[in-house]
Amino acid sequence: MQNLPSHEQQQPTSFSKRYTFPCPSEQVEEDLPELLRGFIKEMNEWSRANGGMVGHIKILSDCRHKTWISSTGGMVEERSVGVKADIPASLTLYVTAIVFNVPSDLFCMACEDTLKPSISLLCGGRTAID
């Protein structure tokens, strides 16, 4: 008979955050999806290395381009929804991740630390709006 994780370990751990920045240059916005794919890959690997299982990790980047990047623990998928005619005043990132079998505090700290390169690129030395 297989040992199942305790009830507490089976509970999902989630990280969900919205970041808003002044609208970056087109080049920065073009570089962003690669950084965000890297974040998702790193969190997939982190979860596995810590005995967890990814439910899903999804990011929506909304500025000139609206881009969805997601994974359910394997391949990272990307979908561009379109380009806006007007240049918006800000860029918003919506980041949501759900994993199982890892402590919430460690997972949230790992998400924040792994997002730092993307946040740094977008801030350009400034602070996020929220």
Distance CA 23, CA 29 (A): 9
The model's pLDDT over 46-58, given as tens digits with 9 standing for 90+, comes to 999 999 999 999 9
Report whether 11 contacts 46 (CB < 8 A). Answer: no
Give the start-to-end residue ranges of the domains of the chain.
Answer: 14-123
pLDDT tier at 13 (50, 70, 90 boundaries)?
very high
**pTM value?**
0.82
Report whether 90 contacts 21 (CB < 8 A). Answer: yes
Architecture of domain 14-123: 2-Layer Sandwich (3.30)
Using alpha carbons, list the distances in angstroms from residue 59 to 7, 18, 51, 96, 125. 29, 10, 23, 6, 22
How many residues in the chain? 130
Distance CA 101, CA 13 (A): 8
Lowest mean pLDDT among 21-35, 46-60, 66-80, 104-118: 21-35
Average of pLDDT values for 96-103? 95
Is the pLDDT higher at 84 or at 13?
13
Average of pLDDT values for 14-39? 88
